[in-house]
Structure 1
């Protein structure tokens, strides 16, 4: 009769299971972040040889979300105004980013990728050596979509939608 009763000693505490799962997730994120850094280095060099990964990150935000203010880029990447100013000036000198007056605030500018900037970032990302594309090529589209939803929820600090 005692065989049907499971003692608390036999089962790990729910908190222990959760802690172990969180640590495993942190470990996987650490590896993923390292791989993404390497990918950013590759993309940066494809866009402009010698471009630093941080410059590429700023450029990719501008290319995806532009027109965007420098302060919004800084908030997104948690970078200070001086860094963003220096990087966007460099991107402008390379002909990758254009500035236009912000119609909502005459003191500010909006940043957008130039036609050449869009061309270069597409070429960098569409090269035949895209690790993310290769890694996901055998995944079901529903799994990719669900992972996207889960990562977005995690980034927002909210529980995922069912």
Structure 2
């Protein structure tokens, strides 16, 4: 029976101990993650600028955070204040103040929650939706245009990887 090759002879070490390539792998991984962080930073800066511009077009002087609250309500259709605060990982009091501002701007309305008489459902007003559509229209196709030269499989792969990252899961 031929002698089996040992883990040591293949350059491997016992489980849990770093192998000879660990330093290179860690350096490459660290460099790759840092480059990704920089690119995310640039992307976030771009998105914050877009939110600020859209917020100001929706209602001059509106802060980007209020715009995010409004777009979340508009996207959800109906949502309770508690669920909204949880979704946005924000303080319920701050979200409540922002919602009052949005109500004053006639962008958001409250209706009684049929499932809980003590609670209200928040929804965008028809005028709020119309105004939001008008604000988004100039940039509506910007992502479509930016990805025009990309192969559809690359777009799907990016979507899959971003989903895995946001879910803190390893990609399949």
Choose which of 78, 82, 90 in structure 2 pairs with 1:79: 90
Q: Find the aligned partners of 2:152 and 2:58 in 1 and give their Cα distance.
A: 29
Q: Which of structures 1 and 2 has the larger relative contact order (alpha carbons within 8 angstroms, sep 6+)?
A: 1
Alpha-carbon separation, structure 2, partners of 1:67 and 1:29: 31
Cα deviation code 1:69-91 (max 9, x no counterpart): 11122122221111111111111
Deviations 1:15-57 (A, max 9, x none): 2211111111111111111111000011111211111100001
Q: In the TM superposition, what is the alpha-carbon distance from 1:142 to its structure 2 partner?
A: 3.0
The answer for the alignment partner of 1:139 in structure 2 is 150
Aligned to 1:51: 62
Counterparts in 2 of 1:84 and 1:46: CA distance versus 1, 3 Å: same
| Partner residue of 2:72 out of 61, 75, 78 | 61
Q: d(CA) in 2 for partners of 1:44 and 1:138?
A: 30
Per the normalisation by structure 1, the TM-score is 0.84
Tell me the equivalent position of 2:136.
Answer: 125
Report the aligned-residue RMSD. 2.1
- Separation of aligned partners in 1, 2:149 and 2:106: 37
Q: TM-score, normalised by structure 2?
A: 0.79
Q: Give 5+ residue unaligned stretches, structure 2.
A: 1-19
Partner of 1:21: 32
Q: Secondary structure at the match of 1:98?
A: strand
